[in-house]
A and B are shown apart, each in its own frame.
Chain A
């Protein structure tokens, strides 16, 4: 294969020059200037992005308030608990099942029989349903157990599930070994009562379960299984002593 064409064209065209168009240099100059500014803008954009990312990472997020957490905790607990808020004038026999770990309430033996005992709320053990009745005042005090008790729980620990038991207003109970904490009804409601926000017309539902509870309590009353059984007995004894002629139904 003859190399001549190669040599011929190489010698002729190797140093062949052709003047470039005048616009070429203007375009090159523009490109050189644009390259500089482009770099600067990219740096600025990168800086802004970094700033945004850093603020997103380090910006304080909203924290869940303890009350809200408390409420959530309450809601997550056993659904068997039905608690009614304590009102100042309501007679609220409320029973709520409480895990054994929470509380064990032992009636204070030193309660004076002559003094009206007003108790509100319920403090419940798994096996013992103890009863409450009126609350005359808003203020409520919560004794911890006096006698040796296996499970003594601080009121705060009761919060999730248990309702609150209350001493009589004018109690003269011996609380030397226990502690009394006084809460207003609102505090008790917020701290110890499960918040249940009923939907419309759910009062019946609520009351259905409440009624059931009441019935259970009533049976308890009748069968002298509850604290009031002792009270009834005391009452009967009193009446028998003072009014021997009348016959009474021991179950009342």
Chain B
């Protein structure tokens, strides 16, 4: 079933088409929810709410852009709504430029994706949301500021702090990796 047939079936409220749409996009969307919301149970709640709305309003999709992009934006909006309700979007209003304690570029060993995913989850809420929206999901600072009701400067500062935090985590991971390699060679 191609994408157009899938959409038509969902508009006709065919349960098989709706299930097929869900099966196609739910793994990626659930991972996205976990990136934003962190707690797996909360992520499931957000996923359920988001897909219920998507399947109800599928006729609003106007074929402007990909279906995946349309669904992705809907899920991200639902994540942000959830976080607003939980008041879990603490943002510093510090507009000072983040300190430039940046780690120099290095050739990192190939890392497991799951470790990177876990690093994202370790970020504080404000850093995590802005980093996800900007670095992974491609939002501009202006859009982020509108969505989160913050200034663009705050969005930029949050992003900077997120990057610093992740680089520290990466550095720790690298150090630990090197230690492991050293231990194995000395045995």
Contacts and interface: CB of A to CB of B under 8 A. Distances in A.
Q: Do A and B bind each other?
A: yes
Contacts of A4: 105
Interface in A23-74: 23-25, 27-29, 31-32, 35
Interface string B146-173: 0000000000000010010011001000
A74 to B, nearest CB: 69
B44 interface: yes
Listed residue (A17, A18, A21, A27) with the most chain B CB atoms within 10 angstroms of its CB: A18
A28 B52 contact: yes
B163 A24 contact: no
A9 B167 CA distance: 11
Given A13-B35, A18-B27, A5 B135 contact: yes
Given A2-B105, A5-B135, A19-B30, A25 B167 contact: no
Contact of A1 (B26, B102, B120): B102
Interface in B47-63: 47-48, 51-52, 55-56
A21 B26 CA distance: 10
B111 interface: yes
A5 B111 CA distance: 13
A20 B135 CA distance: 24
B51 to A, nearest CB: 5
B44 A5 contact: no
A243 interface: no
Given A13-B120, A19-B27, A25-B19, A31 B48 contact: yes
Interface in B91-135: 100, 102-105, 108, 111, 113, 116-117, 119-120, 131, 134-135
A6 interface: yes
A8 to B, nearest CB: 7
Task: Give the dominant DSSP class at A's interface.
Answer: helix
A245 interface: no
Given A13-B113, A18-B34, A23 B163 contact: no
B167 A5 contact: yes
Listed residue (A5, A12, A15) with the most chain B CB atoms within 10 angstroms of its CB: A5
B52 A13 contact: no
Contacts of B160: 1
Contact of A14 (B26, B56, B104, B136): B136
B5 to A, nearest CB: 19
Contacts of B104: 2
A3 to B, nearest CB: 8
A4 B48 CA distance: 34
Task: Give the dominant DSSP class at B's interface.
Answer: helix
B98 to A, nearest CB: 8
Interface in B12-30: 15, 18-19, 22, 26-30
B99 to A, nearest CB: 11
A29 B26 CA distance: 14
A10 B52 CA distance: 27
Interface in B36-95: 40, 44, 47-48, 51-52, 55-56
Contacts of B136: 9-10, 13-14
Nearest to A26: B48
Contacts of B135: 5-6, 9-10
B44 A20 contact: yes
A19 B29 CA distance: 9
Given A13-B120, A18-B30, A32 B18 contact: yes
Interface of B: 15, 18-19, 22, 26-31, 34-35, 40, 44, 47-48, 51-52, 55-56, 100, 102-105, 108, 111, 113, 116-117, 119-120, 131, 134-136, 160, 163, 166-167, 170
Closest 10 CB pairs of A and B: A17-B27, A6-B135, A18-B31, A20-B30, A31-B52, A20-B26, A27-B48, A12-B116, A12-B113, A16-B31
20 contacts: A1-B163, A4-B105, A5-B135, A6-B131, A6-B163, A9-B136, A10-B136, A13-B116, A13-B120, A16-B28, A16-B31, A17-B30, A18-B34, A20-B26, A20-B47, A24-B44, A24-B47, A31-B52, A35-B52, A35-B56
